[in-house]
Amino acid sequence: MSFLPDESLDIPGLAPPPRSQPAPAATDDPLLAGLNPQQRAAVLSRADALLIVAGAGSGKTSVLTRRIARLLRDRELWPSQILAITFTNKAAGEMRERVGQLIGHEAANGMWISTFHSACVRILRREAQQFGFTQAFTIYDSADSRALIKRIVKDLQADTLGLTVSAAAGKISRLKNELIDAEGYSRQLNPNDPTEVMFLEVFRRYSAELARANAFDFDDLIAQTVYLFRAFPQVAALYQRRFRHILVDEYQDTNHAQYALIRELTRAVEPQHVPADTRIETDATGGIPAAALTVVGDSDQSIYAFRGADIRNIVEFERDFPGAEVILLEQNYRSTQTILDAANAVIGNNFDRIAKNLFTEVGAGDRIVGFTGYSQHDEAQFVADEIQKIHEQGVPYNQIAVFYRTNAQTRALEEIFIRSALPYRVLGGTKFYERAEIKDAMAYLIAVANPADALALRRILNTPKRGIGPATETALALHADQLGGTMRDALGDAAALGLGPKVTAAILDLSGILDDATATIDTALVPDVLTAILERTKYVELLRASRDPQDEARAENVEELVAVTREFQRNNPEGRLVDFLTEVALVAAADDLDDSSGTVSLMTLHTAKGLEYDAVFITGVEENLLPHQMSASEPGGPAEERRLFYVGITRARKKLHLSLAMTRSTFGDTQVAAPSRYLQEIPTELIDWRDAPGMGMRSTSSQRSLGTTRSGREQFSYGTSLPLGKPKTEWANRVTATVRDNGDLTLAAGDRIRHVDFGEGRVTTVTGTGPKSIAEVQFESAGRKRLLIKIAPIEKI
DNA sequence: TAAACAATGTTTTTT
DNA sequence: ACATTGTTTA
Each residue's pLDDT tens digit, A426-477 = 887 667 788 888 889 999 999 999 999 998 998 888 888 888 888 888 888 8
Does the CB of A739 sit below 7 A from strand C? no
Residue with the bigger pLDDT between A120 and A147: it is: A120
A715, part of any domain:
no
User: Which nucleotide is nearest, taking the CA of residue A733 and each C1'?
Assistant: C1
Among the residue ranges A15-19, A154-158, A589-593, the one predicted with the least confidence is: A15-19
Indicate if A355 and A316 belong to the same structural domain: no
Q: Which one is catalytic: A81, A88, A254, A301?
A: A301
- The verdict on whether A728 is a catalytic residue reads no
Q: Is residue A109 part of a domain?
A: yes
Total number of domains constituting chain A: 5
Given the residues A141, A250, A341, A379, select the one marked as catalytic.
Answer: A250
Q: How confident is the model at residue A659 (pLDDT cuts 50, 70, 90)?
A: very high
The residue among A591, A551, A609, A562 whose CA lies nearest residue A430 is A591
The set of strand C positions with any atom below 7 Å of a protein CB reads 1-2, 5
- In the set A29, A141, A249, A579, the catalytic residue is A249
From the alpha carbon of A737, which nucleotide's C1' atom is closest? C1
Query: What pLDDT shows up at residue A325?
Result: 92
Say if residue A636 is in the same domain as residue A675: yes
CATH number assigned to the domain comprising residue A602: 3.40.50.300
Domain boundary among A159, A190, A213: A213
Q: What is the DSSP string of A408-432?
A: GGHHHHHHHHHHTT--EEE-S---G
What is the nearest nucleotide to A665, using C1' and CA? C1
> What pLDDT score does A86 carry?
92
Region of A697 (left: φ > 0; alpha: ψ -120 to 50; beta: rest) is alpha
The full DSSP string for A633-692 is TSTTHHHHHHHHHHHHHTTEEEEEEEEEESEEEETTEEEE-PBPHHHHTS-GGGEEEEEP
Is the pLDDT assigned to residue A712 strictly greater than 90?
no
Active site residue A171: no
Question: Among A273, A300, A329, which residue terminates a domain?
Answer: A329
- What pLDDT shows up at residue A186? 92
pLDDT at A77: 82
Q: Which of A542-551, A572-581, A683-692 has the lowest mean pLDDT?
A: A542-551
**pLDDT for A29:** 79
pLDDT band at A269 (very low <50, low <70, confident <90, very high): confident
Known catalytic membership, residue A379 = no
Task: Write the CA distances from A60 to A330, A447, A532, integer angstroms.
Answer: 10, 43, 47
Confidence tier at A713 by pLDDT (50, 70, 90): very low
| Residue A696 lies inside a defined structural domain of this protein | no
- At residue A656's C-alpha, the angle toward residues A655 and A662, to 5°, is 140
**pLDDT at position A547, please?**
72
pLDDT of residue A597: 73
What residues make up the domain containing A360? 339-428+594-691
For residue A704, what pLDDT is reported?
A: 36
What is the edge-to-edge ordering of all strands in the sheet holding A112-115? A112-115, A82-86, A245-248, A292-297, A49-54, A325-329
The predicted model gives A249-263 an average pLDDT of 94
pLDDT grade, residue A18 (50/70/90)? low
Decide if A60 is catalytic.
yes
What is the mean pLDDT of the segment spanning A646-669?
Answer: 90
Q: Where is average pLDDT lowest: A126-135, A285-294, A403-412?
A: A285-294
Nucleotides of B under 7 A from a protein CB: 1-3, 10-15
* pLDDT bracket for residue A594 (50, 70, 90): low
CA distance A140 to A126: 18
pLDDT given at position A716: 45
Q: A195 CA, B2 C1': separation in Å?
A: 39
In Å, what is the separation between the CA of A671 and the C1' of C2?
18
Indicate the pLDDT class of residue A638, thresholds 50, 70 and 90: confident
Q: How many CB atoms lie within 10 A of CB A89?
A: 21
Q: Residue A177 domain-assigned?
A: yes
Query: Model confidence at A701, in pLDDT bands (50, 70, 90)?
Result: very low
Nucleotide nearest to A435 (CA to C1'): C4
How far apart CA A655 and CA A383 sit, in angstroms, is 13
Q: What secondary structure letter does DSSP report for A269?
A: B
- Answer yes or no: do A418 and A448 share one domain: no
Q: Are residues A76 and A189 in the same domain?
A: no
- Region A145-168 average pLDDT: 84
For the question of residue A790 being annotated catalytic, the response is: no
Task: Please give the average per-residue pLDDT across A273-297, as a whole number.
Answer: 81
Q: What is the pLDDT of residue A589?
A: 64
Distance (Å, rounded) from C-alpha A453 to C-alpha A216? Answer: 11
Residue A276 binned pLDDT confidence (cut-offs 50, 70, 90): confident
Residue A469's CATH number: 1.10.486.10
**What is the pTM assigned to this prediction?**
0.86
Count the neighbouring beta carbons within 10 Å of the beta carbon of residue A352: 9
Whether residues A112 and A234 fall in one domain: yes
Task: Please check if A406 is assigned to a binding site.
Answer: no
**C1' of nucleotide B12: residue with nearest CA:** A406
Which pLDDT score is estimated for A739? 55
A352-CA/B14-C1' distance, Å: 26
How much is the average pLDDT of A195-214? 91
pLDDT, chain A, mean: 84
DSSP 8-state assignment for residue A463? S
Residues A467 and A565 in one domain: yes
Whether residues A664 and A766 share a domain: the answer is no
> What average pLDDT does this structure show over A55-68?
92
Q: What is the mean pLDDT of residues A154-176?
A: 85
Q: Considering the domain boundaries, does residue A467 fall inside one? A: yes
Q: Return residues with beta carbons within 7 A of strand B.
A: A 88, 115-117, 141-142, 166, 218-219, 303, 306-307, 405-408, 428, 465, 467, 469, 547, 586, 588-590, 603-604, 606-607, 628-631, 634, 666-667
Q: Which residues pair with A794 in a beta bridge?
A: A755
A252 and A320 part of one domain: yes
A554, A437 contact by CB (below 8 A): yes
C-alpha distances in Å from residue A533, one per residue of A442, A462, A529, A538? 11, 15, 6, 8
**A633 annotated to a ligand binding site:** no
Residue A734 in any domain: the answer is no
Give the model's confidence band at A633: pLDDT under 50 very low, under 70 low, under 90 confident, else very high.
Answer: confident
Order the strands of the A783-788 sheet from edge to edge: A783-788, A774-779, A759-767, A752-755, A794-796
pLDDT over 50 at A708, yes or no:
no
Determine phi and psi for A235, rounding to 5 degrees.
-70, -45
What's the CA A597/C1' B15 distance, rounded, in angstroms? 25
Write the Ramachandran bin of A608: left for phi over 0, alpha for psi from -120 to 50, otherwise beta.
alpha
Residues A547 and A472 in one domain: yes
Domain boundary among A190, A213, A236: A213
**In whole angstroms, what is the distance from residue A569 CA to residue A89 CA?**
18
Give pLDDT, residue A301: 92
Counting residues of chain A whose pLDDT is more than 90, the rounded percentage is 40
3-state secondary structure of A57: coil
Give residue A27's pLDDT band: very low, low, confident or very high (50, 70, 90).
low
- pLDDT tens per residue, range A496-533: 888 888 888 889 999 999 999 999 999 999 999 999 99
> Measuring from the CA of residue A666 to each C1', which nucleotide is nearest?
B11
What is the phi/psi pair of residue A738, to 5°? -70, 140
Distance, angstroms, CA A677 to C1' B8? 34
Residue A43 falls within a domain, yes or no? yes
Residue A252 sits in the same domain as residue A401 = no
Query: Same domain for A64 and A189?
Result: no
Judge whether A61 counts as a catalytic residue.
yes
Beta bridge partners of A248: A85, A295
Mark whether A93 and A240 lie in a shared domain: yes
The answer to whether position A703 is within a domain reads no
- Can you tell me the mean pLDDT for A765-783? 82
User: CA of A548 vs C1' of B2, distance in Å?
Assistant: 12
DSSP 8-state symbol, A746: -
CA distances from A765 to A71, A770, A778, A784 (A): 58, 15, 10, 11
Average pLDDT over residues A602-613: 91
Can you give the CATH number for the domain in which A165 is found?
1.10.10
Q: Which nucleotide does the CA of A670 lie closest to, via C1'?
A: C1
Highest mean pLDDT among A30-34, A319-323, A341-345, A463-467: A341-345
